[in-house]
Amino acid sequence: MKMKRLAIAAAAVLLIPAGMGAQTAGGGISADMLKEISKGYAGTAADKALRNALNTTSITVLAENADNLAMIDTHFSDKVKTRGITDQKSSGRCWLFSGLNVLRARMIDKFDLGDFTFSQNYIFFYDQLEKANLFLQGVIDTRDLPFEDRKVDWLFANPIGDGGQFTGVSNLIMKYGLVPADVMPETLSANSTSAMSTQVKNLLRQDGLKLRAAGRKDDLQAMKTDMLKDVYHILALCLGVPPTEFEWTRYDSKGEFVSSKVYTPKSFYEEFIGADLENNYIMVMNDPTREYGKVYEIDYDRHVYDGQNWVYVNLPIERIKEMAIASIKDNTAMYFSCDVNKFLNRSKGVADLNNFDYDSLMGVEYTMDKRERIMTHASGSTHAMTLMAVDLDASGKPKKWMVENSWGAASGYKGHIIMTDEWFNEYMFRLVLEKKYVPADVLKMLEQKPVLLPAWDPMFLPEE
């Protein structure tokens, strides 16, 4: 019996694929190599002091640059009129808050409103319903591909989420309209999306398997409709039922009555905003890993199946700044996204390359530029906010920028983040502009056939 077990074990070893067992010599850490590597830590008095400090204090706290502790100048030469700060709380809806805050600033200024907010929850309801349909229809469209196919795998790995980007704002609002915040207020599940999202994800994955297993004669669209009924049920329980009609009383900035009227979500949007969000805006990107002057499209990067994929023009940062300044000078805020947590002093609300000195703390040198950080997954767009101010010097060059954030009024600088122009160069990625602020040569670029990029490209993860 013992000999039989040994024979089986030997056979099993022979079946191990090449490369799965012991590796060839030459690439591992040998004893002599380890001896040389260990010289990297000299154990000096300074090393010991830093090691003691790092045992009880975070790297971020210790890396804070004492030479840069003073609060940055908060004066801005040009600023869009905005009022009130929103709070996305424990959700990934920054893309939605940013887009709605752009429209809110326009409405407050045009109609002389007091504090006013659109209902993020209303649009979020339809965002989740449309994303569920996007996933299920994607499963139907890829039924003939093997389950191991990269696109199929990506769909089941990402059936739904609360992150997104500007085409979600434009497509959803143009399709479903808008309502004021008090008509469909936030709920616990809107403010903290994780638990609801888990339930919907599991339901969609289960339904996706059913669609792939269905017979050729089955009515897949009827099956999908029944599946979406269950999704709608969960969303209604967690977020509430979206209104189809409501009465809204309008007051001006002094609190005086202006009017009271019954609206549908679409008629409310038409009266107070009325812009063509799908055709009157352009997204520009600063991605030095790809060719400038070209148009790119990201597959499946949309919120609505019959809506628009994310399409953008890749441009040098200086061209983007020119358009941003023109928009701010005309009192028009913009959807903006960046790698927000890099060198951000959260308590001050200032993003500055000199906020933290990791090189001196760790005794190493970090040398990657923006292109290299993107290539190696060290940086990418992570958060959307509303760009609404710039401070220009006497020659018209930007010194710093400011965004309205959606982390609450107590965060950062009165709910805002101030960015030095040097930080803007390194960690700004996307901007959405009205076409009237875009030069003719850039608009001409939109006539190109976009280069299609895969949905799993790490540069284009949803903004949270």
* Dihedrals phi, psi of 96, to nearest 5 degrees: -75, -45
Structure token pair of residue 89 = 């709380």
Burial grade of 302 (CB within 10 A; 0-12, 13-18, 19 or more): buried
- Rounded distance, CA 215 to CA 319, Å? 53
**The pairing of beta strand 281-285 with beta strand 257-263:** unpaired
Q: Is the dihedral of CA 195, 196, 200, 203 positive or negative?
A: positive
Residue 116: HSE in the Cβ half-sphere, 13 Å Cα cutoff: 28
Positions annotated as catalytic residues are: 94, 383, 405
CA 265 – CA 268 distance, rounded (Å)? 5
d(CA 229, CA 232): 5
Name the DSSP class of 247.
E
Quick one: tokens of 237?
Answer: 């329980």
| Residue 241 neighbours by CB under 8 Å, 6+ apart | none
Q: Are strands 78-79 and 257-263 parallel, antiparallel or unpaired?
A: unpaired
Angle at 276 between CA 274 and CA 277, to 5 degrees: 110
Which residue, chain included where needed, has tokens 């009157």?
280
Q: Calculate the CA 191 to chain-centre distance.
A: 17
Beta bridge partners of 90: 192
Neighbours of 185 (CB within 10 A): 14
